[in-house]
Amino acid sequence: MKKIALITGATSGIGEATARKFAEHGIDLIICGRREEKLAGLKESLEKDVAVRTLSFDVRSEEATLAAISSLEDEWRHISILVNNAGNAHGLSTIDQGDTRDWDAMMDGNVKGLLYVSRAVIPGMVGRKSGHIVNISSIAGKETYKNGAVYCASKAAVEAISQGMRLDLTEQGIKVTNIAPGAVETGFSMVRFKGDAERAEKVYAGFEPLQAADIADAIFYAVSAPAHVTIADMTILAAAQSQATVIHRQ
């Protein structure tokens, strides 16, 4: 049977690159995101290689997430790969100055959204006694940096959820991979800095950052490992990066 992957946050960045990588390798796709038009455009460009289904919803809404995933037709229900990629950073400030709406957005999207999607997809995997979950964490989940307490906390939660999923699901024949990228040049910093392009550009200046395709390659490597191999955890940094905020710039 052909593999089906469900990817959240597929309309840009790592999610979109992963959809393209999977399509190159013949994996049918359920691409999820908030932006219907972007999903439709991506569907069109991937459909020459694989079958594609779109689901437009916001992972922060439990109701919308359940409604979207339960709307899948029978032929789309045997999801073999779940890529929990949707997530963002909102703001960068000290804990006394942080905007609680930013905190809500990060906790609701990066943590609760990941859980809602997982809760809707995993029972099918358990029923089939097979599946692979890839959670996109961050170097920020491994170390906490100044001004980043809440984003880092949300990603530390992803790290714990990955470990917990592996403990609960290994006996069900389900693999769990946690991937922690460092500085990837995507729309990430534009979102973090609320559209301040000058500030966002500085994040990736003076060194060669990772590209979304670098992370997609790692995800594909993990999901195509032999049956007896689990790639449990990968941390991927730019070559010029040694910690989240330590980057050797020219």
Among 72, 222, 238, 244, binds ligand 8X3 (CB under 6 A): 244
Query: Could you give the CA distance from residue 2 to residue 27 in angstroms, rounded to a whole number?
Result: 7
SS3 helix, strand, coil % of the chain, rounded to 5?
45, 20, 35
List the interface residues with ligand 8X3, window 183-202 (CB under 6 A).
Answer: 183, 188
Stretch of 72-80, 103-111, 133-141, 205-213 contacting ligand 8X3, by CB under 6 A? 133-141
Q: Does 140 bind ligand 8X3 (CB under 6 A)?
A: yes
Query: Could you give the CA distance from residue 78 to residue 34 in angstroms, rounded to a whole number?
Result: 23
Among 4, 5, 69, 139, binds ligand 8X3 (CB under 6 A): 139
* Closer residue to ligand 8X3 in complex, CB, 138/162: 138
Q: Does 219 bind ligand 8X3 (CB under 6 A)?
A: no
Question: Please, which residues bridge with residue 230 across strands?
Answer: none
Q: Which residues are catalytic?
A: 151
Residue located via tokens 């709406």: 101
* Residue 13 CA: distances (Å) to CA of 85, 111, 209: 10, 19, 13
Query: Could you give the CA distance from residue 37 to residue 18 in angstroms, rounded to a whole number?
Result: 19
Among 182, 212, 218, 231, binds ligand 8X3 (CB under 6 A): 182
Query: Could you give the CA distance from residue 98 to residue 150 in angstroms, rounded to a whole number?
Result: 9
Q: Does 118 bind ligand 8X3 (CB under 6 A)?
A: no
CB of 33 to ligand 8X3, least distance (A): 18
Specify the length of the chain in residues: 250
CB of 109 to ligand 8X3, least distance (A): 13
* Closer residue to ligand 8X3 in complex, CB, 22/188: 188
Catalog residues that contact ligand 8X3 under the rule CB under 6 A: 138-140, 182-183, 188, 244
